[in-house]
Amino acid sequence: MGREAIFMNEYQIIELLIAYWPLVYLEIYRLLPLSSMLFNTRPQQQDDEIDSIAKILEKKLPDGSTLVDYIVMGLVNKHKTLSRLKIVDFHRCSSSIQMTKEIFRLPLLWMTPERRSSIQKRIYIEKSKLDKYIDGFNYVYQYYDKSIAHDTNFEPIKIIHDCQIINEDTLVGLEIQQLTPFRFHYHKLWINNCFRQILSPNISYDINLVLSLTNADNITHLHLSDPNMETTENELTLLVRSLSNLRNLRVLCLQRVLNLYPNR
């Protein structure tokens, strides 16, 4: 039923299907009508497949909404007694910036607008930036808020999706997840210099701030990009200490990380 609904752009059915999902495990990939929308012309490579899936998930309807929006709405409106859902797996789906932002907004979207404005004390983000972000969030989601059963307690849901620390969305989602039913689980982590830019001035740049918000043993891939990192003893020590906490790390990419010649 889900594939037919997506093929016909009847995304409201997807929202209801997810909200009342009768099984413990939901793999988003298997909801998609791949055979009819992707592979009817030629065999595709894995990267082509992921790009095509991203187009399905992020395709805008005339009202500006996307399939991801309806998936998210189904999750925040999960029926606490009729749904058995505990794991949502976005494996093989897109890890695009837009997808990441939408998924990591789940905890904040689940909260009432009033509660969103009272989370400042828990967040590492600079206060004025956080206030601006929350105000913007409430404005953008004011229409959706009318259709959400905010603060409804149900069993925690594990969200499996790669994590990119690209702006306030992902950091806020990680920091407040314990206040909500959503728990993010990821193996691949990207951190760029936006992380430094949104931190409070009194907070030292330390990727352990991110690692402390998840189970670091799950992380197998780390991509760190920050050309503003200085070769000071403090930042280098913090970096090495953070890497030493990743006991199961298999792939490490340090892209433009150390500014060896800051005066050039």
Summarised one tens digit per residue, pLDDT across range 27-53 is 998 888 766 555 444 555 555 566 677
pLDDT band of 2, cuts 50, 70, 90: low
Could you tell me how many residues make up the chain? 264
Nearest to 69 by CA among 112, 122, 11: 11
Q: Please state, as a whole number, how many other Cβ atoms lie within 10 Å of the Cβ of residue 47.
A: 8
Residue 68 one-letter amino acid: V
Return the pLDDT at 35.
64
Domain ranges of the chain: 2-186, 195-264
Return the pLDDT at 7.
63
Instruction: In whole angstroms, give the CA distance from residue 34 to residue 196.
Output: 39
Return the pLDDT at 41.
42
Average pLDDT, the chain: 85
Q: Please state, as a whole number, how many other Cβ atoms lie within 10 Å of the Cβ of residue 39.
A: 12
Instruction: In whole angstroms, give the CA distance from residue 258 to residue 260.
Output: 6
Return the pLDDT at 258.
64
Nearest to 58 by CA among 50, 67, 49, 46: 67
Assign 117 to helix, strand or coil: coil
The predicted model scores a pTM of 0.87
Residue 179 has pLDDT above 80, yes or no: yes
pLDDT digits (tens, 9 = 90+) for 145-174: 999 999 999 999 999 999 998 889 999 999
Q: Please state, as a whole number, how many other Cβ atoms lie within 10 Å of the Cβ of residue 37.
A: 15
